[in-house]
Amino acid sequence: METYHQKKLNIETYHQQDGLEVFGHPVKTFPQGIGDAFGALMKMIPDGNKRSYYGLSKIDTGGNVLYLAAAEEKFPGEAEKYGCERYSIPKGDYLAVTVHDWRTRTDCIKDVFHEMMQDQRADNSKLCVEWYYGDNEMLRMLPADPVKDLFMAIDGVAAELMELISPLGEEQINTIPLKDSWTAAQLATHVTKSNNAIVQAMDMDGKLVQRDPAGRVKELKKIFLDFNHKLKSPAFIVPKPGVYEKEKLVAALKKSNDQLKEKREQVNLSAVIEFSAFGQITRLELLHFVLYHTQRHIHQLKNMLKHI
């Protein structure tokens, strides 16, 4: 993990494998009272030095930090034994920043919290978690919103593809680099057609079903990120042969990205639709397809560019 610096915050992703049960009590003064609160908690527990400690926090409507000092629960009912409140730390993905030598940096912890909350992937409706490990290390974790994370990933690959296409000249984008290969122009047109098809699919009638809306994500990832396996595109998104005008091609690709970005905010992503290319699939799974499909063609284009 990266270290917090006064002028720059490096945020990485941490996966909490299992949910945790913890217990503790609120800190009366934040951040000055953090050390004393944990000290009192450790003295109260007989094996105080032999378990993990956590800080749970969130910002109230007045902008004040509500902070709870907590210890890992070793057995059911331990919270009640010590007259403490029990809290749950959910499993899942978190945005994470490591603060080294945290005891001398309590004044900066609030700033770390505020800056992490500005990250577009952050789910600010949930508790922020601090995991204290070792003598002076603290991992600050804020739950990541998986949908926001997906949106950012899609926007990132869309920008990357555009950056690869934009510098190419008219002759380059219309050059066939390898036998039985598309041109760069055809590849970009294929992605545009695919994006437009997904935008239309998002408007199809959907229904809510009792299954994980991301249940097919692993399947899609395995298929489209297997670069050694050649896939056949549906006829309706196969680009026509011929010479393409770069300016029109780039404008069409950008428009498809913008429309997809707008449409994803307007629909229920958990709903299942009947889509010809995939059968029953949720809109959320279709967005994962967009991500993996674009990544696949970025990989293909980079290989093509070596031969243009």
Going residue by residue through the chain (308 aa), what tens digit of pLDDT does each one get?
444 444 467 888 899 999 999 999 999 888 788 888 988 999 999 887 788 999 998 888 887 888 999 999 999 999 999 999 999 999 999 999 998 887 777 677 778 878 888 888 888 888 899 998 877 888 999 999 999 999 999 999 999 999 999 999 999 999 999 998 999 999 999 999 999 999 999 999 999 989 999 999 999 999 999 999 999 999 999 999 999 999 999 999 999 999 999 999 999 999 999 998 899 999 999 999 999 999 999 999 999 999 98
Distance CA 299, CA 20 (A): 39
The angle formed by the CA atoms of residues 6, 9 and 12, to the nearest 5 degrees, is: 150
Q: Is the pTM of this model over 0.95?
A: no
3-class SS string, the chain:
CCECCCCCCCCEEEEECCCEEEEEEECCCCCCCHHHHHHHHHHHCCCCCCCCEEEEEEECCCCCEEEEEEEECCCCCHHHHCCCEEEEECCEEEEEEEEECHHHCHHHHHHHHHHHHCCCCECCCCCEEEEEECCCEEEEEEEECHHHHHHHHHHHHHHHHHHHHCCCCHHHHCCCCCCCCCCHHHHHHHHHHHHHHHHHHHCCCCECCCCCCCCCHHHHHHHHCCCCCCCCCCHHHCCCCCCCCHHHHHHHHHHHHHHHHHHCCCCCCCCEEEECCCEEEEHHHHHHHHHHHHHHHHHHHHHHHCCC
